[in-house]
Amino acid sequence: MSRIPIVGGNWKCNPAKLAEANALLEAWKAKPFDKEKVEVVIAPTALHLGSVKKTLEGLGMQAAAQNVGKNDMGAFTGEWTATHLTDMEVAWTLIGHSERRSKYGETDDETAVKVEKCQAAGLKVIFCIGEQLEEREAGKTDEVNKRQLAAVLAKITNWDLIVLAYEPVWAIGTGKVATPDQAEETQAAIRAYIKEAVSEEVANK
């Protein structure tokens, strides 16, 4: 089955200034790509999202939020909702990034609520899964990935709005290297689980 590759860039808490973001975007103008053959999604900081989104659209790229709140409108200081993002015409958001899980204590149940909110709002989600070094060394790679996925499966009614992103968290800042073969092996296990838990059609997307 032919798939259009998706290239995602998460800027995390960088750069410090909008001018620096604009300089980076300006450099990309000299590097065109075939929009029919690859989909590019960039997640800038929340404060730069609106401005960067406009420039990305001119480059044939799309903008994503790095996070989304688990609540609806209300007294939730510092949060933003899936509704806010769709109102801004931001098509994508990340959910479940390893840093949200490890540094901010985001649980599997919380990621499930966020996915449910995004499904209701028609927002596309890059859903991140992956194991820590100690989990990999304990042979728990598949167990962790299945657990993180199982939490959200019941919340997904439209798989066209979901992209699964495997993060080899164990190879980030540890001195370990994730080889292409290791990534493909884990990807195959994820597809096998989706086939069993959902359907072969979804697993082959």
Q: Which of 97, 99, 106, 131 is catalytic?
A: 97
C-alpha gyration radius of the chain = 17
- What is the count of structural domains for the chain? 1
Q: What is the mean pLDDT of residues 23-51?
A: 94
What CATH number does the domain containing 75 carry?
A: 3.20.20.70
**pLDDT digits 0-9 by tens, 119-166:** 999 999 999 999 999 999 999 999 999 999 999 999 999 999 999 999
Coil, strand or helix: which one is 78?
A: coil
Note the pTM of the prediction, 2 decimals: 0.95
Domain hosting 23: range is 6-203
Q: Is 89 a catalytic residue?
A: no
- Checking if the pLDDT of 2 tops 80, the result is no
pLDDT recorded at residue 173: 86
* Cβ count near 166 (within 10 Å): 17
* Cβ count near 119 (within 10 Å): 20
**pLDDT digits 0-9 by tens, 178-195:** 999 999 999 999 999 999
Residue 159 lies in a domain: yes
Q: Which of 99, 106, 131, 167 is catalytic?
A: 167
User: What are residue 92's DSSP bridge partners?
Assistant: 64, 124
Residue 126 lies in a domain: yes
**pLDDT digits 0-9 by tens, 70-120:** 999 999 999 999 999 999 999 999 999 999 999 999 999 999 999 999 999
Q: Is 184 a catalytic residue?
A: no
Please give the helix or strand (H or E) that residue 43 lies within, else none: strand 39-43
Q: Is 177 left (phi over 0), alpha (psi -120 to 50) or beta?
A: beta
Residue 1 lies in a domain: no
| Cα dist from 22 to 17, 55, 58, 128, whole Å | 9, 8, 13, 27
What secondary structure does DSSP assign to 102-117, as a single string?
HHH---HHHHHHHHHH
Reported confidence tier of residue 1, pLDDT bands at 50, 70, 90: low
Residue 75 lies in a domain: yes
Long-range contacts of 104-108 (CB under 8 A, 24+ apart): 108/147, 108/148, 108/150, 108/151, 108/152
- Checking if the pLDDT of 205 tops 90, the result is no
